[in-house]
Structure 1
Amino acid sequence: MLTIDQATYDAIVAHARKDHPDEACGVVAGPEGSDRPSRFVPMLNAAMSPTFYEFDSGDLFRLYREMDERDEEPVVIYHSHTATQAYPSRTDIDLAQEPNAHYVLVSTRDGADRASYDGPVEFRSYRIIDGAVTEEEVKIVADYTEPGDN
């Protein structure tokens, strides 16, 4: 299960809406081994495409170096789908290289005919390990101090 705070959820959704009709992408880092997404890092979709996302290799290198220095890891890797459901494509599955990460997809497909999107979204999370996709529950909390949180 992915437990995510409301502010981070809202930031991911806002990024997907802002970049629509292109796919948005980014990372939410967290302390190593914590499984707690805490530092939202929106990234530029270097592909600038409505059907594909690609992290800029220099930006991604800097982010991983920074996470190493801060004893963090990518807890959530997210991107949006602008014309399809929030389910990993074959390309998404092939690119998934972080077995401990939650892969979040946000679909803004209901706004596919508009240059910007502010309507409802589909927000889903998956574990992708060795090509196997498993959907998981998403629990949104006000903050990480609620009883029973990670």
Structure 2
Amino acid sequence: MLTLTQALFDQIVAHARADHPDEACGMVAGPEGTGRPERFIPMLNAARSPTFYEFDSGDLLKLYRELDDNDEEPVIIYHSHTATEAYPSRTDISYANEPGAHYVLVSTADTDGAGPFQFRSFRIVDGEVSEEEVKIVDAY
């Protein structure tokens, strides 16, 4: 199960809304070993595409160095789907390389970026996708 604060939920949805009609992408980091999402990190979709997202390789390298320096790890890796449901595509599955992370998808399809949004979380390990419950809390 993914547990996250209402504030983080709102930030992820706001990012998906702001980048629509292009896919939004980013990460939520947390202290190593806790599995607790804490720090919202919106990223630029280097592909600038409504059907594909790509982290800028330089930005991603800088982010992973920062995570290492702060004893943090990626807890949530998120992106939006602008024309399809919130379910990992074959491409999403092939790029999922953080087995400990929650992969969150927000669908802005049929909303013109205004909502309501599908917000779903998945674990993706060795190409296997399993959906998990999302619990929104006021605080940890």
The two structures have a TM-score, normalised by structure 1, of 0.92
**Which consecutive unaligned segments of at least 5 residues does structure 1 have?**
145-150
Structure 1: which amino acid aligns with 2:72? E
Q: Which residue of 1 aligns with 2:89?
A: 89
Q: SS state of the match for residue 59, structure 1?
A: helix
Q: Which residue of 2 aligns with 1:147?
A: none
Q: Which residue of 1 aligns with 2:125?
A: 129
Q: Which residue of 2 aligns with 1:143?
A: 139
Q: SS state of the match for residue 109, structure 1?
A: coil
* Contact residue 53 and residue 79 of structure 1 kept, 8 A: yes
- Equivalence map 1:1-150=2 (5 Å): 1-111=1-111, 114=112, 117-144=113-140
Q: SS state of the match for residue 59, structure 2?
A: helix
**Partner Cα distance (1:119, 1:108) in 2:** 7
**Partner Cα distance (1:34, 1:104) in 2:** 18
Aligned length: 140
**Partner Cα distance (1:127, 1:33) in 2:** 17
**Which consecutive unaligned segments of at least 5 residues does structure 2 have?**
none
Structure 1: which amino acid aligns with 2:12? I
**Partner Cα distance (1:32, 1:99) in 2:** 14
Q: SS state of the match for residue 13, structure 1?
A: helix
Q: SS state of the match for residue 114, structure 2?
A: coil
**Partner Cα distance (2:68, 2:15) in 1:** 25
Percent identity, aligned pairs only, is 74
Deviation, 1:41, is: 0.1
**Partner Cα distance (2:115, 2:33) in 1:** 35
Structure 1 residues 81-123: Cα deviation after superposition (integer angstroms, max 9, x where no partner): 0000000000000000000000000000022xx4xx2220000
Structure 2: which amino acid aligns with 1:83? A
**Partner Cα distance (1:132, 1:74) in 2:** 19
**Partner Cα distance (1:67, 1:12) in 2:** 19
The two structures have a TM-score, normalised by structure 2, of 0.99
